[in-house]
Structure 1
Amino acid sequence: MTTLTIAAAQSISIAGDLAANIVWHQRFMQVAAEQGVQLLVFPELSLTGYERGLAAELVIAPEDSVLQPLRDFAQEVGVTTVVGMPVRLSEHSPVLIGALVLGADGSLGVYSKQHLHPGEEVAFAPGTGGSPLTIGGDTIALAVCADFSHASHAAAAAQQGADLYAAGVLITENGYAPDTALLQGYAVRHSMAVLMANHGGATGGWESAGRSAIWASDGSLIAAAPGIGNLLVVARRNADSWTGQTIAVAEA
């Protein structure tokens, strides 16, 4: 196996403040780059916060120039970065929960959440997913929160040859045990590593549990955040073994 370094960005979003969240995302990307991270995954709707009531106001096209500073920075520091944002794929299409892939090569990919959580239908429509990513010799399948509650979603990722299943989520304390059991189970069942990037604090009226985590393909825990807060959870694969660490992210 080739070397691979991935990370979950357990960030705290500022409600509706896209400009401030972009700056904060860049800080995470800088810290990730210093750790040699190749793929960095942020939580669900990380650039706006999980703010259903603001989605129609904040929605953008994936190619919108407002994201150009982030796209440029991903290329500058060499970290492919997955960020969460309400998106509209055409002028008259519905609002989707997007995970935008800002490639280290300057490319832009779009994943849209396929399975909505009850209540999300008031602000969003179901999306259509997206193509897997490739980093070196690894194939990465994306998920956004409730997507992973459907076993068929993880199974489809495995059928696509995914080596890593990477989910940006919002999970509260009540949901943490069952949700992480599902994700760890997918690692074992499908022999793929699993990354979960959870919010680092309260967002949209929900108290996130934090504790972002990464599991190896045998289900063993590589690294996890100890609680809430702005933290980077890093996993490194060398030869056929993983090592992990958690790093606090402070303002520059």
Structure 2
Amino acid sequence: MRVAAVEAEAVPGEVERNLETAAELIARARADLVVFPEAFVTGYDDAVFGGALPSSDLAWIGPVQDAVDAHGSVVVLNTPLDRGTLSSVVLAPQAEPWLAYDKQHIYAAERTHFTAGERGTSFTLGDFEFALSVCYDANFPEHAAAAAADGAHVYLASGAYFPGGAHRRDLHYGARALDNGMYVVFAGLLGAPHAFIGGSAVFDPLGTKIASAQDGLAIAELHLQAVIAARETQRMWTDRRATLGDRRRHALG
């Protein structure tokens, strides 16, 4: 399975231009699966979030669907929507776009505009099951753990990290991979209006970064056997207890 995580700039408020950029990147990636950064359709911008947002009927998504149909890729495209969610749309060749996932952990600065999704989402492609996440979701180990418990082999993350966030970004995604014996594919936004730092990468099931962005794309081959082997040798997931019981507390002095 060839996957590509996009690292690119979205022009704030320029939906048509950003959709054209997305179509160009899909053509360049030549991948089975392409993942885009958070809010790529509109750009991640407070002023944009407070205005008219793309409709949840997805009538505007045609240029990306055309690229998907032409190149045979499955695409995860993240966007804010007029219903007040930061949502990932999954597009597959010759299929209706699927409004698949709403970001479940809303960062403080986003709460003016967005509400949290109520459920996780996974989809199957070939031999793999892919779980969806958006940026802040990955700060919570239980989010990826719930996906792994439900059968996911790969954790797909669309994000937008501010300057100074590189260490935390890489640590979280590497840890989610190692904790759960799963691949993590992270697509990071670049540029305006907050000097977003990108960092698109693919981590293997042992938490090792196996691909970084080159010319806008981090590309890697995923192998199901690597997930199986990691879960056999790194047994944190297998040996995890469902409950740790009631916590004991005692005051000393």
Name the counterpart of 2:234. none
2:75 to 78, 81, 103: 81
* Equivalent residue runs for 1:1-252 within 5 Å: 4-33=1-30, 37-88=31-82, 94-109=83-98, 110-203=100-193, 206-225=194-213, 231-237=216-222, 240=225
Return 5+ residue gaps in structure 1 as ranges: 89-93, 243-252
The root-mean-square deviation of aligned C-alpha atoms, in Å, is 1.9
- Which amino acid in 1 is paired with 2:85? L
SS in 2 for 1:122: coil
Name the counterpart of 2:250. none
Cα separation, partners in 2 of 1:100 and 1:212, compared to 1, 3 Å: same
Which portions of structure 1, spanning 4 or more consecutive aligned residues, are displaced by more than 6 angstroms?
none
Quote the Cα distance in structure 1 between the aligned partners of 2:192 and 2:104: 24
Contact 1:62 1:100 in 2 (8 A): no
SS in 1 for 2:108: coil
Return 5+ residue gaps in structure 2 as ranges: 228-253
Contact 2:122 2:130 in 1 (8 A): yes
Name the counterpart of 1:91. none
Which one has the largest radius of gyration?
Answer: 2
Post-superposition offset of 1:72: 2.7
- Which amino acid in 2 is paired with 1:17? E
- 1:111-158 per-residue CA deviation (whole Å, 9 max, x = no partner) reads 110111111111111123442011101000010011111111111111
- Which amino acid in 2 is paired with 1:70? V
Cα separation, partners in 2 of 1:85 and 1:58, compared to 1, 3 Å: farther
SS in 2 for 1:47: coil
- Which amino acid in 2 is paired with 1:41? V
The alignment's TM-score, normalised by the length of structure 1, stands at 0.84
